[in-house]
Amino acid sequence: MLKFNKIAILTGVALLGLAASGQTLAADIKERTLRFSFLNAKDHPQGLGAAKFAELIGKASGGKIQVKLFPSGMLGGDVQTVSALQGGTVDFTVLNAGLLASQSKEFVMFDLPFLFNSGKEADAIVDGPVGSKLLAKLNGKGLVGLGYWELGFRHVTNNVRPVVKMEDIAGLKLRVVQSPLYIEMFSVLGANPVPMPFTELYTALETKAVDGQENPEATILGTKLNEVQKYLSLTGHTYNPQVLLVSQKLWGQLSADEKALIQKAARDATLYQRKVNREATSLALTKLKATMKVNELSAAEKTRIRIKLQGVTKKFSADVGEPLMSELNSELAKLR
């Protein structure tokens, strides 16, 4: 009797194994090669996150779905890439969340100055109801949001002088993101903002078409802006979460199994990307200190800048809308 039970158990295990194998074989996954375009280099945390995402999709699909990476703006800047996703000629991208204000004005929330105090605080917001509500606003825009990565806190660099106090920003010709908020923010601070694609920035700095720019440490180092910039001032004026996007045209063609594995890969790649970005930020700052003159901005000066920018914050918060801003502020209050 014992022998019979043992055989029955082993047979049952074998059948379960065959059933599981059958489910895997029956999964509706087609052979596909998908294109992932992004602005930073392959070894930047953005590129590392993209590589992890591609790797996870390849493994989960049994090699059927291959994601080909196009780093360093090879297929164009962010604005062009969003259009390419909407047209279906590019499948994935990741970009600063605030740039999606051109698709849904509420995304301007993520460019509001001094919104977050830390990356972990931002994580709680973007991974919660507020972040989900914003991604839902992309419905019907040709884009599907898969999650939020991190670029980090932006800081001012230039070749004229260190920014130690608010007045030091005045008169600087600074390249800024192609966004009305950034243009107005630096205009209010007395700078001469020059909106231009990131792909044109290095040459603009090298030829002195602009005096400076503003980006996180890992981006400054990764694109070698320290080669053409003298001063780095840790202003931390804006924090950039980034949105991982997939083309709605592609999404509509995928099976439920394909969507599920891509969503799982996105979740896992998101955790990985944030981790490597935070590690890279610390390392990049150490390296930049060896090649640039780096200075901290005092808490008092940051407060002065924040106060100076209150009008900008109020104006663009109106685009977000009172209900969503109230929900955001309520969640931030709980975190603090």
Global pTM? Answer: 0.86
Pinpoint the alpha helices (H) of the chain: 2-26, 45-60, 78-87, 119-126, 129-136, 180-188, 201-206, 217-222, 248-253, 256-289, 299-308, 310-320, 322-335
Pinpoint the alpha helices (H) of 61-127: 78-87, 119-126
- Flag whether 23 is in a domain: no
- Flag whether 20 is in a domain: no
Residue 1 confidence (pLDDT) above 90 = no
Q: Which domain CATH number covers 171?
A: 3.40.190.170
Q: Stretch 20-30: mean pLDDT, rounded?
A: 62
Q: Give the 3-state secondary structure of residue 145.
A: strand
Q: Give the 3-state secondary structure of residue 70.
A: strand
The span from the CA of 153 to the CA of 238, in Å, is 6
- Flag whether 64 is in a domain: yes
Residue 14 confidence (pLDDT) above 60 = no
- Flag whether 2 is in a domain: no
pLDDT-derived band at 4, boundaries 50, 70, 90: very low
The span from the CA of 328 to the CA of 326, in Å, is 5
The pLDDT score that the predictor gives to residue 26 is 56
**Total tally of structural domains belonging to the chain:** 1
- Flag whether 37 is in a domain: yes
